[in-house]
Amino acid sequence: MSASTGVSGPDFGAGLALDMIAEGATIAGHVGDEAVLLSRYGDDFFAVSGSCTHYGARLADGLVDGDRVHCPWHHACFSLRTGEALTAPAFDALRRWRVHVGADRVFVRELIDGPSKPAPREHGVRRIAIIGGGAAGFAAAEMLRRQGFAGELTLLSDDVNPPCDRPNLSKDYLAGDAPPEWIPLKSTEFYRDNGIDLRLGTAITRIAPQQRQIVPASGDALAYDALLLATGASPIRLKGFDHPNVYVLRTLRDADAVIAAAAQARRVVVIGAGFIGLETAASLRKRGLQVDVVTPDALPLARVLGDDIARFVRSTHEEHGVRFQLGLTAEGFDGKRVRLTGGHSLDADLVVLGVGVRPNTDLAAKAGLAVSDGVEVDRFLQTSMPGVFAAGDVASFPDALSGARLRIEHWAVAQRQGQVAAVNMLGGSESYDATPFFWSAHYDHILRYVGHAPKWDKIEMDGSIASREFTARYSLEGRLLAAASLNRDRENLEIERTFDKGRHEARVRAAP
């Protein structure tokens, strides 16, 4: 994934005729060699950078909705008026330009200084603690400060590394295409400058929500007024695979361990053909290893994407040299050979397990919070215990559309939940109603999936797999539940917008 380059459209520095931009319209152009979006609302004009602050996608290829623009790659949303990154996975605001309105032309020439620090506000909450330094925990901490929270903010993580770009760990970073400096979500200065007390290598084993305290293994208890559980999930390990050359992939440390092992290896067996297993296979092929992927399924990802796209995913990987061992279960590993069902076996210098994750619910369960498939939260992401919130892979939340409890393991979902939880920890009442969204990279093909369809009875394919451009729509009993797209980024955003509206309306109808 690299930044979009090149600019097009009018040169706003040279000026644009006023009648070229209608009320409510946004035009993509440039100032010098920087892409700029110019918007008009009544007599007011706004100019912001046209490159997403997450990975640099061209926002002109995204979706403008009122005074917001949605990024085509990973669906971050920005205000066209202020440039603020309203929803993750982008956090930094877009650069802004001053717009000079003449008699019959508008000119964009001068950058406005960077975003000013939000003014501290009184929220009636003095101490906030977050357990978990991943997607949700980081997004919550960042949003708390953006909301002007001026109290004590502690981010506790058992990881030794600061919050990192986890999706990259199985993609460019594992393939050797992303340098280490891309991986932290923010530098250590960010935490210092924003007064976020980031405590790494700190495993929390007990909370006492009645006393509003976190009880560390040693040292003093940490008191809080509001607490966020953002403990995520841990990779499942398999019995019979207890060898030093067996790896999982969750943390930066895990990724570095796989990279170090891969440097000494020729053959890897990846167990599991889910998204992480397949991305790992692709990245290790890039490093020149022989890669076998073992799965009991007949096709990789068929349960998520259906047979046709699954066949496409399979053949794409096979074209890059991945060998699939389909319909087989890995039964054990003796350090040199992986034993498979049916008496088969595979030589392996290293094994990567990609067989799913389990939510880290222990803390919550021990503290008596309601836990089922995850830590149960209401639509405001508050757990059964007042003052304790949960977000991300660990949270089981009520779906606005169906009312059913969902626990979703996607990057943007975790971050957006962290952002909503932040607002609510400060006394807000924002409902988490966003449509689930994820992306997955398979060599040059980036699949984008919006919605949630654990089952379907119909898949409608628009476009074609052969042309590498399609949207597959998954519906059940006539109701559209999800869509998967390849090279149809704007359409994927449009479907997301329709789903979001549906979810919002359902929530309003259900509100007491």
Ligand X SMILES: Cc1cc2nc3c(=O)[nH]c(=O)nc-3n(C[C@H](O)[C@H](O)[C@H](O)COP(=O)(O)OP(=O)(O)OC[C@H]3O[C@@H](n4cnc5c(N)ncnc54)[C@H](O)[C@@H]3O)c2cc1C
Q: Within 10 Å of residue 96's Cβ, how many Cβ atoms?
A: 21
Stretch that binds ligand X, among 90-98, 305-313, 434-442, 503-511 (CB under 6 A): 434-442
Name residue 312's amino acid: F
Q: What is the DSSP letter of 11?
A: B
Stretch that binds ligand X, among 79-87, 95-103, 157-165, 328-336 (CB under 6 A): 157-165
Closer residue to ligand X, CB minimum distance, 109 or 199: 199
Which of ligand X, ligand FES, none lies near 39, with the C-beta cut-off 5 to 8 A by kind? Answer: none
Contact between 231 and ligand X per CB under 6 A: yes
Instruction: Identify which of 496, 487, 508, 510 has the alpha carbon closest to the alpha carbon of residue 65.
Output: 496
Which of ligand X, ligand FES, none lies near 159, with the C-beta cut-off 5 to 8 A by kind? Answer: ligand X
C-alpha of 140 from chain center: 13
* Closest approach of ligand FES to the CB of residue 35, in Å: 13
Select the residue interacting with ligand X from 11, 61, 67, 158 (CB under 6 A).
158
* Closest approach of ligand FES to the CB of residue 400, in Å: 22
Stretch that binds ligand X, among 63-71, 134-142, 288-296, 463-471 (CB under 6 A): 134-142
Select the residue interacting with ligand X from 62, 132, 209, 272 (CB under 6 A).
132
Distance, in Å, from the CA atom of 38 to the CA atom of 10, rounded to the nearest integer, reads 10
Q: What b/e string do you get for 22-38 counting C-beta neighbours within 10 Å, with b at 16 or more?
A: eeeebbbbbbeeebbbb
Does residue 412 contact residue 391 with C-beta atoms inside 8 Å?
no
How far CA 91 is from CA of 67, 275, 364, 445, in Å, comes to 18, 25, 29, 25
* Closest approach of ligand X to the CB of residue 402, in Å: 21
Which of ligand X, ligand FES, none lies near 76, with the C-beta cut-off 5 to 8 A by kind? Answer: ligand FES
Contact between 46 and ligand X per CB under 6 A: no
Question: What are φ and ψ of residue 190, in 5° steps?
Answer: -60, -45
| 3-state class (DSSP) for residue 374 | coil
* Closest approach of ligand FES to the CB of residue 6, in Å: 16
Closer residue to ligand X, CB minimum distance, 29 or 162: 162
Question: What are φ and ψ of residue 404, in 5° steps?
Answer: -70, 155
**Residues contacting residue 365 through CB under 8 Å, at least 6 positions apart:** 371
Contact between 360 and ligand X per CB under 6 A: yes
Q: How long a stretch of residues is the chain?
A: 512
Stretch that binds ligand X, among 152-160, 208-216, 396-404, 501-509 (CB under 6 A): 152-160
Contact between 452 and ligand X per CB under 6 A: no
Closer residue to ligand FES, CB minimum distance, 69 or 276: 69
Contact between 204 and ligand X per CB under 6 A: yes
Say what the alpha-carbon torsion angle 55, 496, 470, 297 is, to the nearest 10 degrees: 90
Contact between 250 and ligand X per CB under 6 A: yes
Closer residue to ligand FES, CB minimum distance, 62 or 272: 62
Contact between 156 and ligand X per CB under 6 A: yes
Structure tokens, 223 = 């008191």
Residues near ligand FES (CB under 6 A):
52, 54-55, 57, 71, 73-74, 76, 89-90
Distance, in Å, from the CA atom of 223 to the CA atom of 204, rounded to the nearest integer, reads 13
Name residue 382's amino acid: Q
Q: Scanning the structure block, which residue is given the tokens 């509206």?
A: 501
Distance, in Å, from the CA atom of 307 to the CA atom of 330, rounded to the nearest integer, reads 23
Residues 78-117 as x/- pattern, contact with ligand X by CB under 6 A? ----------------------------------------
* Closest approach of ligand FES to the CB of residue 85, in Å: 9
- Which stretch of DSSP H or E encloses residue 498? helix 489-510
Q: Within 10 Å of residue 51's Cβ, how many Cβ atoms?
A: 23
Closer residue to ligand FES, CB minimum distance, 448 or 503: 448
Interface residues with ligand X (CB under 6 A)? 131-137, 156-159, 166-167, 169-170, 203-204, 230-232, 249-250, 276, 360, 363, 392-394, 409-412, 414, 438-440
